[in-house]
């Protein structure tokens, strides 16, 4: 009877032995496998602990992936070395392990299949053997297993395994519910885990730069830096991260950037003041990483284009250029006397800029005759400031500051004392005090009813200087007002008001002010211009004073026409051209002379009237060309009356041209030949329109328009020669300096009447459609964008 027979005769006994052998088999596996896994599993565990602690959110993918590859490579090498001679435990070894742990002798389990070598046929001997085996296995407490002993301390004498376990426990505690996402992200070669967080990130450059926001792509880890102006605001928005995200900026900026929020929506804002690497970690995953390069704002540059000069109205002409990477926001002139003094002050004169473009050429007129330094040699330095607060200066320019010419001797004496106070607050005060005291001696003899106000002002100034701490500026104002009261005329005030309105109007046009504001300023400018011209007429120069060489003769109606053109350009949206014309008009006014006989001869008036009539006639001819073109394209003007109506209109224009030529004399003046050719072409166009030959009619109309333009240029050239301007380049100009093709001065285009009328009609139609809010949103948005420039 074998052991199998014995166990078979006892139900459950064999199962119990098999289970105990299986457990012994597992114990052997553990004692052999666990030492073979060390230190590979320790290296991987340490890497996992680092991931759970969120360290990889600070280092980025560029460092994490090499670390991951190093961990995997090192662990793989150790595993290969440990398992090179690895041998799995057998069933007999497990049974033998169970026998040793249970203290069983004679190996009843491993030798369960053994046969009796002696006494095999002896019944008593066989019974004895079976009884012996039964007695060894029959007791339950005989089968025992001892706890496995892998002997890992031999390979880890410093107990690093416990440190790894501690780090893993701390990592699980720190990561919380995000532990799985952090582990997946750490062991992913692409750096993308299972996080569902979304990130919106962008940079807002400072408003003065005019640069649009810079969008930062999610997860962008490119090596090339993203340029952004210094001081740009960074905005980060993380949605649905399942835990509070973190942002790391290396190196740290002036102010720390941190997320705040709730309900799975977090926001962080900060400023980029220098080059930085920005990392955003959400759910254990680096969802954004950018290298940002802070572009510094360079200081502006400012320089004189020409030396400061004096105008006919004693104003200072500042002609300068400014340049900046984003635009200059303000400029001023710093004026100091050439004669050094310990008490001298800097006179700062603001120079309002017409635009804040990156590069600009400005011409500004300022009346400084009321300043104490008027009449002195001064150094002028230009100062420019950009939106970031950077300031730069130009090279100094020496210049004699214009002074108001006073004809009254007492007024001149008061102005002289103002200058003394400006140069030296010590000795100048004593000098001015004695001078004022002497000038007010015996008022009953030297002052009358008309000058009593000046006397009181002078005495007030005297006592103001006699105090222990005199208010020099207040005394200087008193002396200036007294000098003006002694002097006749209000031309300076009129010129100053005109300059002020010109600056306000220029700034309103540059800043895109509403049309109602511009119209109101234009009306005030018109009134100031009329007052200025009236004061010029009341204060004419000496009769013997000759007209400067190369001067252009302008009449009041010419100035009114130019102002009307500025108004029309502003209304039609061509504000840049309107601003240029306004600056040119102000330049003319600053150097305007009033001469006797400014009205001109009868011939001059006739030529001027003819020139204006030709301008209107050319506009009508252009309108007729437009109508002919529309008739040819099958989109006729309902009011034109078809080809017959167009033919009648052409005939009327021909009659008007003949009347103008008659007013210029028998031969039609200097442009008579060209005007005659224009009349001939008009006649041909009239016949072609009547016969419905629209193509040929268009060619004839164009010839007529070109001939009128050349005739008007010849007439304008003769007028300039008669007004003393002599032969000049480009004689195709009218008295306003306009070229025959509508150019003013050097390159400023004045649209013709028909072009401005079309622009007004288009603008009116756009505004009408913008008010119809029932139109599709895309169309309304497009119309709004078109109207923004107006």
What does the block give as tokens for 61?
């993918």
Tell which CATH architecture fits domain 302-400: Sandwich (2.60)
Q: Residue 228 — very low, low, confident or very high, per pLDDT cuts 50/70/90?
A: very high
The DSSP bridge pattern shows strands 226-229 and 285-295 to be: parallel
Distance between CA atoms of 143 and 136, rounded to whole angstroms?
A: 10
Please choose, from the candidates 359, 380, 360, the residue with its C-alpha nearest in 3D space to the C-alpha of residue 310.
Answer: 380
Mean pLDDT score, 664-674: 69
Q: Is the pLDDT of residue 350 over 80?
A: yes
The whole-number pLDDT of residue 319 equals 92
Would you identify the CATH topology of the domain 492-541+550-590? 1.20.120
What does the block give as tokens for 118?
């002696």
Q: Residue 551 — very low, low, confident or very high, per pLDDT cuts 50/70/90?
A: low
Q: Which stretch of 65-74, 80-89, 316-325, 435-444 has the lowest confidence by average pLDDT?
A: 435-444
Task: Answer for the pair 45, 168: CB distance below 8 angstroms, yes or no.
Answer: yes
Higher pLDDT, 449 or 95: 95
What does the block give as tokens for 692?
């419905």
The whole-number pLDDT of residue 166 equals 92
Higher pLDDT, 219 or 158: 158
Write down the CATH number for the domain with range 602-740.
1.20.120
The whole-number pLDDT of residue 727 equals 33
- pLDDT tens-digit profile of 471-497? 777 887 788 777 776 665 556 667 777
Task: Answer for the pair 49, 166: CB distance below 8 angstroms, yes or no.
Answer: no
| Phi and psi torsions of 239, nearest 5° | -120, 140
Q: Is the pLDDT of residue 741 over 50?
A: no
The whole-number pLDDT of residue 247 equals 86
Q: Is the pLDDT of residue 381 over 90?
A: yes
The whole-number pLDDT of residue 394 equals 93
What does the block give as tokens for 520?
């109101």
Distance between CA atoms of 546 and 122, rounded to whole angstroms?
A: 164
One of 3.40.50, 2.30.30, 3.40.190, 2.60.40 is the CATH number of 195-295, namely: 2.60.40
Q: Which stretch of 314-323, 635-644, 775-784 has the lowest confidence by average pLDDT?
A: 775-784
- Beta-carbon contacts of 285 under 8 Å, excluding residues fewer than 6 positions away, are 57, 181, 182, 185, 191, 192, 193, 195, 197
Please choose, from the candidates 386, 76, 24, 342, the residue with its C-alpha nearest in 3D space to the C-alpha of residue 207.
Answer: 386
The DSSP bridge pattern shows strands 232-239 and 265-272 to be: antiparallel
Q: Residue 8 — very low, low, confident or very high, per pLDDT cuts 50/70/90?
A: very low
How does DSSP assign 729-746, residue by residue? Answer: SS--B-TTSBBTTSEETT
């Amino acid at each position: 009877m074998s052991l199998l027979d014995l166990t078979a005769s006892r139900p459950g006994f064999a199962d119990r032995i098999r289970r105990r052998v299986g457990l012994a088999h597992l114990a052997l596996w553990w004692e052999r496998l666990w030492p073979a896994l060390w230190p590979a599993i320790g290296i991987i565990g340490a890497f996992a602990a680092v991931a759970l602690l969120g360290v990889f959110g600070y280092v980025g993918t560029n460092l994490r992936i090499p670390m991951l590859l190093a961990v995997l490579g090192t662990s793989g090498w150790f595993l290969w070395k440990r398992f090179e001679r690895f041998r799995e435990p057998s069933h007999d070894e497990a049974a033998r392990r169970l026998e040793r742990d249970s203290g069983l002798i004679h190996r009843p389990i491993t030798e369960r299949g053994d046969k009796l070598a002696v006494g095999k046929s002896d019944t008593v001997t066989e019974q004895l053997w079976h009884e012996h085996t039964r007695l060894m296995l029959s007791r339950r407490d005989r089968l025992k297993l001892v706890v496995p002993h892998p002997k890992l301390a031999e390979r880890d004498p410093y107990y690093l395994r416990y440190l790894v376990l501690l780090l893993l426990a701390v990592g699980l505690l720190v990561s919380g519910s995000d532990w799985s996402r952090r582990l997946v992200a750490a062991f992913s070669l692409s750096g993308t885990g299972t996080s569902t967080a979304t990130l919106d990130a962008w940079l807002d450059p400072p408003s003065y730069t005019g640069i649009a926001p810079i969008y930062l792509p999610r997860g962008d880890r490119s090596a090339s830096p993203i340029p952004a102006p210094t001081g740009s605001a960074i905005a980060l928005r993380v949605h649905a991260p399942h835990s509070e995200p973190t942002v790391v900026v290396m190196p740290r900026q002036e102010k720390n950037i941190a997320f705040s929020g709730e309900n799975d929506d977090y926001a962080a804002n900060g400023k980029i003041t220098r080059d930085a690497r920005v990392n955003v970690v959400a759910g254990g995953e680096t969802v954004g990483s950018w290298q940002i390069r802070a572009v510094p704002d360079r200081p502006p540059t400012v320089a004189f284009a020409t030396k400061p000069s004096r105008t006919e109205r004693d104003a200072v002409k500042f002609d300068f250029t400014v340049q900046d990477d984003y635009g200059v926001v303000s400029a001023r002139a710093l004026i100091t006397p050439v004669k050094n003094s310990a008490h001298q002050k800097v006179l700062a004169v603001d120079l309002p800029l017409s635009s804040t473009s990156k590069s600009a050429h400005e011409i500004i007129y300022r009346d400084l005759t009321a300043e104490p330094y008027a009449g002195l040699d001064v150094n002028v330095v230009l100062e420019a400031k950009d939106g970031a607060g950077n300031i730069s200066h130009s090279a100094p320019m020496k210049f004699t500051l214009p002074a108001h010419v006073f004809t009254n001797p007492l007024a001149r004496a008061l102005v002289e004392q103002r200058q003394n106070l400006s140069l030296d607050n010590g000795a100048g005060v004593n000098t001015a005090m004695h001078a004022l005291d002497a000038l007010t001696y015996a008022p009953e003899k030297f002052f009358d009813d008309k000058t009593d106000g000046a006397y009181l002002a002078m005495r007030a100034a005297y006592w103001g200087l006699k105090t222990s701490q005199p208010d020099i500026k207040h005394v200087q104002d008193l002396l200036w007002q007294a000098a003006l009261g002694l002097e006749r005329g209000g031309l300076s005030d009129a010129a100053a008001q005109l300059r002020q309105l010109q600056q306000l109007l220029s700034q309103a046009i540059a800043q895109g002010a509403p049309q109602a504001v511009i119209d109101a300023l234009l009306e005030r400018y018109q009134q100031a211009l009329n007052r200025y011209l009236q004061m010029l007429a009341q204060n004419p120069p000496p009769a013997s004073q000759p007209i400067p060489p190369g001067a252009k003769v302008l009449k009041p109606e010419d100035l009114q026409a130019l102002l009307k053109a500025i108004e029309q350009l502003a209304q039609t949206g061509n504000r840049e051209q309107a601003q240029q014309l306004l600056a040119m008009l102000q330049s003319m006014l600053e150097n305007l002379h009033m001469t006797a006989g400014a009205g001109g001869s009868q011939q001059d008036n006739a030529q001027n009237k003819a020139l204006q009539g030709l301008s209107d006639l050319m506009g009508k001819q252009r309108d007729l060309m437009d109508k002919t073109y529309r008739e040819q394209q099958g989109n006729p003007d309902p009011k034109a009356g078809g080809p017959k109506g167009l033919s009648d209109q052409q005939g009327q224009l021909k009659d008007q041209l003949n009347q103008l030529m008659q007013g210029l004399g028998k031969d039609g003046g200097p442009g008579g030949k060209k005007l005659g050719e224009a009349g001939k072409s008009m006649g041909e166009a009239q016949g072609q329109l009547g016969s419905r030959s629209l193509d040929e009619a268009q060619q004839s109309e164009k010839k007529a328009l070109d001939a009128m333009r050349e005739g008007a240029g010849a007439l304008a050239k003769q007028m300039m020669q008669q007004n003393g301007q002599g032969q000049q380049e480009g004689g195709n100009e009218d008295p306003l300096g306009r070229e025959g093709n509508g150019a003013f001065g050097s390159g400023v285009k004045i649209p013709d009447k028909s072009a401005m009328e079309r622009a007004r009609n288009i603008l009116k139609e756009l505004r009408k459609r913008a008010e119809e809010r029932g139109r599709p949103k895309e169309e309304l948005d497009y119309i709004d964008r078109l109207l923004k420039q107006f």
